[in-house]
Structure 1
């Protein structure tokens, strides 16, 4: 008996150890329920296909990607020489380089693909007379830019020489797929092509990766993926319950004296081989598919099965707020307001701050690498440059005019209060209103007196009149006396 108890205890300990081991990979944050994620329907391990499916088929994920992308690229940046206010020939050459190949759109495409997965890639197609598998050399022109999803490119070989710290652990050769693995629909027989690409022709964007390991990139949708699952459950479950209520599920109840077999007879009363169940099912289908159908029962009662549809708004709001927090967007910016009210000023400020921080910390290094590598292969002239992003918080034309009116009103209030000088001069008001400044002496001061006539405009005027000082009223009164 003691051996049996000992063996049972040992088996229990082994089972508990196995459960503890498996719980480390269950993905739950709840120590009391290590398999809670499995019960909730959450995946423990996520892959690129999960993120892309959520982006392509889910409204919240798609909206989050494009809200961030659209704000960051709301207005294109300037790649310019330092301290250059106006466009220089060097800057115009970059514009001429990107315009024929729709370069800005493809750089945005690289960023969009990076937001979906851990990383994205950009392949340079340069006219240097070499295939893609050879190192990039001096080229005559940039022929194209090819943005790729994470599943369209892979590393086929790595640098393994530990004596070379500059290249050790970095890709030695890439291979890219011309058509994405996740692409669905009819491709009309487009060939599946893989091509070797040298790393010098590939630019990687992996947001969230601290070093050169682009596999450490953090997908935008990863942190809030469980909330996306909840949103899908609530949306689908609510729609399914509404559909079932609208489908009029028929429940038939017969009393003890009923003779249901009568409904299976022919119109002339002769019996048939059909069952009561099949007849009722046919009548039910006809009732749900035709508004003019009816049911005939012999001593039975037909009712509809209805379920109480609960209000899912509180649960949906909790999941939506969690997902909005995971992507760093205010709820009102991502989902809007059902009442028609716009997002508050504070929400808009947070939204702009999110985009500005990303412009400086992610997109500026990405554009800087692109320009430097184009300079290295001779496509862009060498020299110092900087990336200048437009002010996302700049007021609109309507706000500018409103501010200008407020400045004019302030001037009038000061004048009515006895101030001899305006608070704002004309050029300050024009600048705030979004207009060019006027040259000095071109009406930059407010004057109530009518300006003197120009003697040159009157051929009969005395040419020396403009040089004479104005008459003194006191002198005239003394002369009369």
Structure 2
């Protein structure tokens, strides 16, 4: 009976979820863009374009529709004035924002009323951005990558050094090239450039020795790994997940599980902001006032189909091992639910109909007995 009620509750919950109104993908793409911009800066803004034909510095006319949403970088949105009356419920909050937008290669500053904007993140001066703890480590990574790449490039360029004998006569050498002594450097540079460009180029020398300027390039792995671990620790993401490297099945699985938990924790953090956005739109009567606001996320660590079947198989093995005791540990419906399937709905509905028919028969028999009496 308990399993029957559980399955019935699940079906009711699914029916409620299907009947609830949802925002379309365009809205969630804008929200995702705001969240991405908030990770780079300390905050990001969401401009709410309302169909009230009012200037942006005026309060929103309640009860009108929404035209669109626009994500805004923190650098283009600045709080300019704050409520200073301690008796006001909005004490300490901005009374207007300055929004700088570029139109036709021109920067236009607009005054925005707080009703027309929602802030993701923290715009206070002492707020710390998501990437700020790892900023120096990322800069060091860029230096290591750029420096090592430049070193390999310079070695591959074959910069040449020419050593002349002390008896060399530069005047006669210049006469050979048909130039002045001061122009010999340019001639040698042209010869070195031709050698670097072509594979079948020869340099003829007399009384001189040519040697390439090659330096031993240091292995950047140690320095790179230290800065990479520092950067990963600053943003709380496993190193292998950050760079897309997998070493060992168990280690990679644990890193992925930790990263999924990290993502689900952050989902809970931004869930409050999403609820605040919906409540603000409801207070402005831009959307209908919801009875309850729920942000539903899927479980990133949910078991795969193969893992669910394996768990159900183990439950069946436990039942088989306990046959000697004469007790069934798991019911068939519990095993089906562990495998990711619902209980036999048709059987449940038939049982419920039989119960209803039985109750009607009992009521009919009772009424006939009362009439006979």
Q: State if a TM-score over 0.5 links the two structures.
A: yes
- Which structure has greater helix proportion? 2
Secondary structure (helix, strand or coil) at the match of 1:176 reads strand
Please show how residues 205-284 of structure 1 align to structure 2 within 5 Å: 205-206=120-121, 209=122, 214-259=124-169, 261-266=171-176, 271-273=178-180, 275-284=183-192
Check 1:339–1:302 CA distance in 2 against 1; reply closer, same or farther (3 A cut).
farther
Deviation digits for residues 418-449 of structure 1 (CA, Å, limit 9, x no counterpart): 4656543332232222223213758xxxxxxx
**Counterpart in 2 of 1:317?**
225
How much does 1:240 deviate?
A: 0.9
Check 1:197–1:237 CA distance in 2 against 1; reply closer, same or farther (3 A cut).
same
Check 1:340–1:266 CA distance in 2 against 1; reply closer, same or farther (3 A cut).
farther
Secondary structure (helix, strand or coil) at the match of 2:132 reads coil
How many residue pairs were aligned?
335
Verify the 8 A CA contact 2:240 2:246 in the aligned structure 1: no
Unpaired stretches in structure 1, ≥5 consecutive residues: 1-82, 180-186, 443-481
Rounded Cα–Cα distance in structure 2 between residues aligned with 1:263 and 1:397: 81
In the alignment, which of 308, 311, 331 is matched to residue 400 of structure 1? 308
**Counterpart in 2 of 1:326?**
234
Please show how residues 42-441 of structure 1 align to structure 2 within 5 Å: 85-87=14-16, 91-92=20-21, 95=22, 98-99=23-24, 102-160=26-84, 162=85, 164-179=87-102, 189-206=104-121, 209=122, 214-259=124-169, 261-266=171-176, 271-273=178-180, 275-337=183-245, 343-360=251-268, 362-382=269-289, 383-414=291-322, 418=324, 422-439=328-345, 441=347
Rounded Cα–Cα distance in structure 2 between residues aligned with 1:87 and 1:190: 50
Unpaired stretches in structure 2, ≥5 consecutive residues: 1-11, 349-373
How much does 1:317 deviate?
A: 0.7
TM-score (structure 2 length as normaliser): 0.80
Rounded Cα–Cα distance in structure 2 between residues aligned with 1:280 and 1:342: 59
Verify the 8 A CA contact 1:263 1:298 in the aligned structure 2: no
Deviation digits for residues 82-134 of structure 1 (CA, Å, limit 9, x no counterpart): x9543468731xx2xx327x100111111111111111111111223433221
Rounded Cα–Cα distance in structure 2 between residues aligned with 1:318 and 1:395: 34
How much does 1:263 deviate?
A: 4.7
Rounded Cα–Cα distance in structure 2 between residues aligned with 1:238 and 1:403: 50
TM-score (structure 1 length as normaliser): 0.63
Check 1:397–1:140 CA distance in 2 against 1; reply closer, same or farther (3 A cut).
farther
